[in-house]
């Protein structure tokens, strides 16, 4: 959905060219701005820009780069302002999750400190759905749809062979501290007792004994057991069920391996044959099965960011506000970045069943509208056709490159 938001920004800027001028895209996010590697989006055809709406990945590149605390070292921010000045940049749109919101806030603050006129606006996009002060985050609806569909299809496969073969299937999904994605697997169930039979949330302390007991009871009752597990699941003492010692630029521990760990528990305790799968990057790049609601919202927040900038606003994130009527509706709002950066929205306890292994009807009412509608990409020779941009860099004006 990050490309759908980019399409919203580009097309809206083009419609307001007299006010905006030329729109540049940082090659690989904030790193492109620091290194003055700026892509001239005016070189892209209208057809190519429109095709971003159905293209996965990041068309201009992405990064995991944490900028330093500007109170301790302001050199990076001073470099950004130098680049902005050199190219007469007055609007800064940054698309991403919580870490991107933090970057956008810092850029806004340093620009103000240096008396440089810059309107910084954050465009929400995170499959984790953990940004605060917005009903949902673009990217999540499509991931939720993918996980729900994958859970449903895999469950039918396991059910067909459980009598004489595999009885346990575990799907591991993303979610460091919040179980939104894992919870979406619950949408696969049409009736009580349908798979997934167990959902493992980061918000609920994991108990090995309770888990094994639930698996055992389910297999005895249904003949098989389907589990959706969040990669960030942890024990009561805060220790992860599985995770590596490696950390990314933002200090986040690299996660993964929960499904294998749970499968080993089942095998050692109950002896059942199992299979597991990691949704991994597939869950966030499966554009062929996107939610139309999600696509519409992703484009809208990009368009809305430009419109709010033209209204003179800055230091904000565009938000999605859910309507109050029985029929699902939504509109755009805004929230100050100071209330967004470094804040995670976790699953409400009321969304999780009393036993901690499923989702409630209240959760279903929240999730269901977000996965509605199909928005298939065009196909050619049996596979989707995605955008291919020129990504032409502009000529640099600064003599020295960024040394960071």
Question: How wide is the angle at C-alpha 74 spanned by C-alphas 71 and 78, nearest 5°?
Answer: 145
Tens digit of pLDDT for each residue in 90-100? 999 999 999 89
Residues linked to residue 41 through DSSP beta bridges, in sequence order: none
Query: What pLDDT does 227 receive?
Result: 98
Query: What pLDDT does 245 receive?
Result: 43
Phi-psi region of 121 (alpha: psi -120 to 50; beta: other; left: phi over 0): beta
Q: Are 132 and 343 in contact (CB under 8 A)?
A: yes
Domains and CATH numbers, the chain: 2-138+287-344+372-384 (3.40.50.450), 141-285 (3.40.50.460)
Tens digit of pLDDT for each residue in 381-397? 999 999 999 999 999 99
Task: Say which of 102, 128, 294, 375 is annotated catalytic.
Answer: 128
What is the per-residue DSSP string for 316-348? EEEEEEE-SSSS--EEEEEEEGGGTTT---PPP
What average pLDDT score do residues 359-369 get? Answer: 98
Reply yes or no on whether the pLDDT at 142 is more than 50.
yes
Q: State what percent of residues in the chain have pLDDT above 70.
A: 96
Cα 162 to its chain centre, rounded Å, is 34
Those residues with Cβ within 8 angstroms of residue 205's Cβ, 6 or more apart along the chain or in another chain: 234, 235, 236
Please state, in angstroms and rounded to a whole number, the distance separating the CA atoms of residues 385 and 133. 35
**Helix axes 2-15 and 292-310, enclosed angle (nearest 10):** 40
What average pLDDT score do residues 350-355 get? Answer: 97
CA dihedral 347, 348, 349, 353 (to 10 degrees): -70
Reply yes or no on whether the pLDDT at 130 is more than 80.
yes
Burial pattern 130-141, b for ≥16 Cβ within 10 A else e, equals bbbbbbbbbbbb
What average pLDDT score do residues 313-336 get? Answer: 97
Reply yes or no on whether the pLDDT at 246 is more than 70.
no
Of the pLDDT bands very low, low, confident and very high (cuts 50, 70, 90), residue 253 is low
What average pLDDT score do residues 137-154 get? Answer: 98
What average pLDDT score do residues 259-277 get? Answer: 96
Q: Are 68 and 61 in contact (CB under 8 A)?
A: no
Tens digit of pLDDT for each residue in 43-59? 999 999 999 999 999 99
Question: Residue 214 is encoded by which pair of tokens?
Answer: 């639930």
Question: How wide is the angle at C-alpha 230 spanned by C-alphas 226 and 231, nearest 5°?
Answer: 125
What average pLDDT score do residues 285-299 get? Answer: 97
Reply yes or no on whether the pLDDT at 399 is more than 90.
no
What average pLDDT score do residues 238-261 get? Answer: 68
Query: What pLDDT does 400 receive?
Result: 86
The reply to whether 69 belongs to the active site is no
Query: What pLDDT does 247 receive?
Result: 52
Please state, in angstroms and rounded to a whole number, the distance separating the CA atoms of residues 184 and 279. 13
Q: Are 166 and 275 in contact (CB under 8 A)?
A: yes
Question: Residue 53 is encoded by which pair of tokens?
Answer: 């709406």
Reply yes or no on whether the pLDDT at 254 is more than 80.
no
Reply yes or no on whether the pLDDT at 1 is more than 50.
yes
Please state, in angstroms and rounded to a whole number, the distance separating the CA atoms of residues 107 and 104. 5
3-state DSSP assignment of residue 122: strand
Tens digit of pLDDT for each residue in 69-118? 878 888 899 999 999 999 999 999 999 999 899 999 999 999 999 999 99
């Amino acid at each position: 959905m990050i490309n759908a938001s980019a399409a919203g920004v580009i097309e809206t800027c083009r419609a307001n060219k007299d006010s905006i001028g030329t729109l540049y895209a940082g090659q690989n996010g904030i790193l492109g701005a620091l290194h003055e590697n700026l892509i001239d989006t005016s070189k892209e055809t209208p057809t190519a820009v429109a095709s971003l709406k159905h293209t996965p990945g990041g068309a201009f590149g992405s990064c995991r780069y944490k900028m330093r605390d500007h109170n301790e070292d302001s050199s990076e921010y001073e470099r950004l302002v130098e680049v902005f000045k050199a190219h007469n940049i007055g609007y800064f749109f940054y698309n991403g999750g919580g870490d991107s919101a933090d970057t956008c806030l810092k850029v806004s603050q340093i620009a103000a400190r240096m008396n440089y006129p810059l309107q910084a606006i954050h465009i929400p996009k995170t499959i984790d759905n953990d940004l605060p002060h917005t009903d949902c985050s673009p990217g999540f609806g499509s991931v939720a749809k993918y996980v729900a569909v994958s859970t449903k299809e895999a469950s039918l496969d396991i059910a067909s062979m459980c009598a004489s073969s595999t009885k346990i299937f575990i799907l591991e999904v993303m979610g460091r501290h919040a179980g939104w994605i894992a919870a979406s697997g619950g949408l696969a169930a049409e009736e009580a007792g349908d798979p997934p039979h167990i959902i493992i949330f980061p918000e609920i302390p994991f108990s090995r004994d309770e888990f094994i007991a639930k698996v055992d009871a389910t297999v005895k009752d249904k003949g098989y057991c389907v589990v959706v597990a969040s990669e960030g699941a942890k024990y009561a003492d805060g220790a992860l069920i599985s995770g590596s010692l490696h950390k990314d630029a933002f200090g986040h521990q690299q996660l993964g391996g929960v499904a294998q760990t749970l499968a080993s528990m089942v095998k050692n305790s109950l002896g059942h044959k199992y299979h597991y799968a990691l949704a991994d990057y597939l869950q966030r790049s499966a554009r062929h099965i996107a939610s139309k609601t999600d696509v519409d919202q992703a484009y809208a927040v990009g368009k809305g960011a430009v419109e709010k900038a033209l209204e003179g606003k800055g230091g904000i994130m565009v938000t999605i506000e859910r309507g109050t009527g029985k029929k699902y509706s939504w509109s755009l709002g805004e929230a100050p970045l100071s209330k967004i950066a470094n804040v995670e929205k976790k699953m409400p306890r009321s969304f999780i069943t009393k036993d901690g292994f499923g989702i409630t009807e209240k959760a279903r009412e929240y999730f269901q509208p977000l996965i509605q509608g199909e928005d298939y990409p065009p196909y050619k020779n049996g596979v989707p056709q995605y955008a291919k941009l020129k990504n032409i860099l502009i000529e640099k004006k600064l003599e020295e490159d960024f040394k960071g």
